[in-house]
Amino acid sequence: MNAPQRAASAPQRVVVTGIGVLSSIGNGVEEFTSALREGRCGAGPITSFDTTGFVHTSGHEVDGFVPERWIHRLPVEQLGRATQFTVAAARMAVQDAGLDEQRLAGLRAQVTVGTTDGEAGELDRMMAASVAQGPERPADQLLAGRLPAHQLALAVARELRLPRVVPTVLGTACAAGNYAIGDGFDAVRTGEADIALVGGADAICRRTFAGFSRLGLVSSDVCRPFDADREGLLTAEGAGVLVLETLESARTRGARIYAELLGYGLNCDAHHPTAPDQSSVARCMELALADAGVKADEVDLVSAHGTGTPTNDITETRAIREVFGDTPPRTVALKAMLGHSMGAASALGAAASALALAHGFVPPTVNHRTTDPQCQIDCVPNHSVPADLRVVVNNGLAFGGNNASVVLGRHEEEPSR
C-alpha cells in the first residue's frame, strides 16, 4: 500500500468537480444555482415539529425530499433525517461529478461531514415520547440507533459501498462544513486520499430552535444580515457535499471543474462559549489566505458567516475590515436566502462560492432594506450581479469559538506546455 514518504514534499492542487445540495431554495446543483441568481428566500412556517407556543415560528426547510430517490441500498428507516440528507447530497455530488460508482469504490476515499446537531431531531422525538409515556419506558432502539453522529459519514460509505474509506464526522457546530471541506482538502493534497466527499448536513430540530428562541436570536419574519433592522436568524436545514480530487485526476478523467480549492484556515477563539472574538475571526481569515497563497487585495468576494444576529454581523464586518482594510471586497450573507442551516451552512456557502466562480456572478444578500452603519460593507443587496470573480473567501464561525475559512479560486485551463 501507499506508505507515506517521509521527506517533505509539495502538495497536489485540489479542485471541486461535483456538487450535491439540498436546501430551502432548491435541491440539486441546477435548481440551487438558479435560486442563488434569482435571490430566492426559502423561509416559511416550520412543519418538522409542532411550533405551538413559540413566539416566532418560521424557518427554512427542505421541500420535496424523497430519500428513496437517492438511497438505494440502506434501509431508509434506520437513518435519521440528517443522515438521509447527507447520503442524498453525497450521491448527487458523485453523479454531478460524473463518477462511476464502481470506479469510485476502488479509490481511497475521505468522507468528512460536518454537523451541528447530528440526529438531535430524533432525540427530540424520543424525549417527547419519554415525557408522554414516562422515563421508565425503555428507549426505542430503532431511534437510538440513528443517533450517533458518525452515522452521517458512515452511511455515505455504506450506501456507496466504499471499502477503502475514512468516514469522519466533525461536530464543530456551525463552522463544521468548512472544517470538513478543509479536512478533505488536506487528505487529497497530501495524497492520503484519491478522492474526498466533504461538506455538511443538518436537519431542522426543535431543541436548537428552542435554544435560539430563548436567546432571543430568532427573527420574526425573515433573516436580514447586515440590515439596520435585523432581528436575528432563522434556523434551517440542508446539506452540501463537494467532490474533491487532484487537478491531475480531474484532467485525466476529463471532469468539469467548478473551482480550485486554494486553502483554508482554522482556529479557536478560546475566549467565550457563544460570543465571537473579532481578532480571532480576523486571524482565521488571515490563516486561510496564507494557506492559499493569496493576498488580501486579490480577494473578490467574501461569503460571510452572516447570521443576521446583531452581534455576529458587527463582529464579522469588523474582522473583515481588519483583514481587508477600508475597502473590503463585496461581502454577501447567504443565510438570508438559506436560513442558518447549522453544520450545512458553510458547506452550502462553499458550494455557492464555487458556483459563483464558475458562472461569474455574485449571489445577493436578500431581504435587505438599509445597511447597518455599523456593518460597513457592500452586501450586494437583493439582486445578484454578474462579476468576474477570481478568489472567494467563505467563512464559518461557531459556538465554542470554532472558526474556519475556506478560499476558493476560479479554475482556468492553462495552455499546454
Partner 1 sequence: MSERTIHRDRPLITAWSAVSPFGLGRDAFAAGVARGEPAHLVPDFDTRKVLGKAGTRTYDRATGLAVTAVRELLDEAAAARQPIATGGGTALVLGTTLGSAHSAAGFSRASFEGDKPYDVPAQLMPNVLMNGPAAATAIRFDLKGPNTTLAGGAAGGLLALGYARRLLAAGRAERALVGAVEEQTETRSWLAGEPDRPIGEGSAVLLVETARTLPPERRVLAELLSLDVRLAVDEDPQEALAATVRDALAQADATPDQVWAAAVTGQPAEEQLAALVGPEAVRRVRTAGLLGDTGSAGTVFSVTTVLALAEQDPAAAGRLAVIASLDHQGLAACAVLRLAGGDR
- List the catalytic residues: 174, 305, 340
Quick check: 170 binds partner 1 (CB under 8 A)? yes
Residues 92 to 111 in contact with partner 1, rule: CB under 8 A: 105
Quick check: 10 binds partner 1 (CB under 8 A)? yes
Single-letter residue type at 137: R
Single-letter residue type at 86: T
Smallest gap from Cβ 77 to partner 1, in A, equals 15
Q: Which is nearer to partner 1, 72 or 272 (CB)?
A: 272
Q: How many residues are present in the chain? A: 417
Q: Across the strands, what pairs with 406?
A: 264, 394
Smallest gap from Cβ 138 to partner 1, in A, equals 6
Smallest gap from Cβ 316 to partner 1, in A, equals 18
Q: Across the strands, what pairs with 265?
A: 405
Residue among 96, 117, 194, 372 that touches partner 1 (CB under 8 A): 117
Task: Map residues 367-386 to x or -, x wherever contact with partner 1 holds by CB under 8 A.
Answer: --------------------
Quick check: 47 binds partner 1 (CB under 8 A)? no
Q: Which is nearer to partner 1, 185 or 324 (CB)?
A: 185
Contact stretch for partner 1 (CB under 8 A) within 85-93, 143-151, 223-231, 308-316: 143-151
Which three cell numbers mark 140? 426505542
Residue among 66, 76, 128, 275 that touches partner 1 (CB under 8 A): 128
Which three cell numbers mark 384? 445578484
- Do the Cβ atoms of 355 and 29 come closer than 8 Å? yes
Residue ranges in 276-344 assigned as alpha helix (H): 278-292, 310-324, 335-338
Q: Which is nearer to partner 1, 5 or 327 (CB)?
A: 5
Inter-CA distances, 163 with 103, 111, 160, 292, 417, Å: 12, 12, 9, 32, 38
Is 137 exposed, middle or buried (CB count within 10 Å of its CB: 0-12, 13-18, 19+)? exposed
Is 378 exposed, middle or buried (CB count within 10 Å of its CB: 0-12, 13-18, 19+)? middle
Residue among 34, 47, 252, 274 that touches partner 1 (CB under 8 A): 274
Residues 210 to 249 in contact with partner 1, rule: CB under 8 A: 210-211, 213-215
Residue among 183, 227, 245, 300 that touches partner 1 (CB under 8 A): 183
